[in-house]
Amino acid sequence: MGFPTTRLRRTRRTEALRRFVRETRLSVESFVYPLFVVPGEGVRQEVGSMPGVFNLSVDEAVKECREVAALNIPAVILFGIPESKDELARGAYDENGIIQRAVRALKDAVPELLVITDVCLCEYTSHGHCGKVEGGQIVNDPTLELLAKTALSHTRAGADIVAPSDMMDGRVAAIRQALDAHGFTNTSILSYAAKYASAFYGPFREAAQSAPQFGDRRSHQMDPANVREALREVALDVEEGADIVMVKPALPYLDVIRAVREEFNLPVGAYQVSGEYACLQAAGRLGWLDLERTMMETLTAIKRAGADIILTYFAKAAARKLAC
């Protein structure tokens, strides 16, 4: 039945009606807030290209997490900047490394908050690559052992979920085997299953001091042009034991989120990355875009595309907005 009997504007007339027929509802329950933990005490240093995001020492991260929990955000994901970097990323799997100390402190102070740890070597290697480098190449299989050691040490420290973001082949299986062999059969794996070689990670590399010293990440991260390949990546990670899969970045890859949602039945995450955040912040500062409205619109779009879980630097601001 068409116009004039059908008038779609009828249910758009007032906010009460619009809210009543809304198809996608953002909820604080889906948010994960990323944190960058640095050595020292009392450190709270803003990241130049990410206004409102800070490098935090462990004590400051604890304060931040109390605030995050008070806003009902269920989870944080931790990135670490170590005291020193070397060829073998020793700081990544040091029992007393920056992440291990942060996880212990956070689980002690705010036990109800889920702690997810990013598992990758790029913040810990002197060359800034996500794996072992031999003859100028990032070598896959020898890297798996280091990733498994890293995930295991995060789990020993108390992490609820480990999140491999390195994009080596076979890392989910290697991590699952290592965790199970040490009795950690209940620790979940959130895999960055479809992670693209994206220019939108620029600000993160400033925050995490993890830019590669030579070359780039295109030998392991995905080609932005591919979506069928993303489904193969997800299928392999599911087979290897991933509990949650993620697509990253989010807004430029909504079609990938949708495709993964339609093909798989496990929870799907999406990472609204540093560059997505920086774009909106910059345009907001220039007065070119309304920051609050574009923040809520992009998060809603990511959810509408099919994400159950959204990692976002806007988590606190969006939680406050949703609460009022």
Residues 33 to 72 in contact with ligand PBG, rule: CB under 6 A: none
Instruction: Return the residue of 105, 247, 273, 315 that touches ligand PBG, per CB under 6 A.
Output: 273
- Which residues fall within 8 angstroms of residue 197, CB to CB, at 6 or more apart? 216, 217, 218, 221, 222, 223, 224
Residues 90 to 119 in contact with ligand PBG, rule: CB under 6 A: 118
Contact 217, 249 (CB under 8 A): no
Q: Which of 159, 179, 178, 69 is nearest to 118 (CA)?
A: 159
303 is catalytic: no
Return the number of the residue (197 or 289) whose C-beta is nearest ligand PBG: 197
Min dist CB 13 to ligand PBG, Å, is 39
Contact 26, 307 (CB under 8 A): no
Judged by CB under 6 A, how many residues of this single chain contact ligand PBG? 11
Min dist CB 275 to ligand PBG, Å, is 6
Instruction: Return the residue of 274, 281, 298, 312 that touches ligand PBG, per CB under 6 A.
Output: 274
Measure the CA–CA gap between 24 and 163, rounded to whole angstroms.
Answer: 27
Q: Which of 32, 39, 25, 26 is nearest to 100 (CA)?
A: 39
168 is a site residue for ligand PBG (CB under 6 A):
no
Return the number of the residue (25 or 119) whose C-beta is nearest ligand PBG: 119
Outline where 273-314 has alpha helix (H).
274-286, 291-305
For 86, phi then psi, to 5°, come to: -145, 175
321 is catalytic: no
Residues 186 to 205 in contact with ligand PBG, rule: CB under 6 A: 201, 204-205
Between β-strands 309-312 and 75-80, what pairing exists: parallel, antiparallel or unpaired?
A: unpaired
Long-range CB contacts (within 8 A, 24+) of 182-186: 182/152, 182/155, 182/156, 184/152, 184/155
Instruction: Return the residue of 92, 130, 159, 307 that touches ligand PBG, per CB under 6 A.
Output: 130
Min dist CB 78 to ligand PBG, Å, is 11
Active-site entry in 107, 132, 248, 316? 248
Neighbours of 215 (CB within 10 A): 14
Active-site entry in 107, 149, 195, 316? 195
Instruction: Return the residue of 120, 148, 256, 260 that touches ligand PBG, per CB under 6 A.
Output: 120
Return the number of the residue (187 or 198) whose C-beta is nearest ligand PBG: 198
Interacting residue ranges for ligand PBG, rule: CB under 6 A: 118, 120, 122, 130, 165, 201, 204-205, 217, 273-274
List residues with catalytic annotation. 195, 248
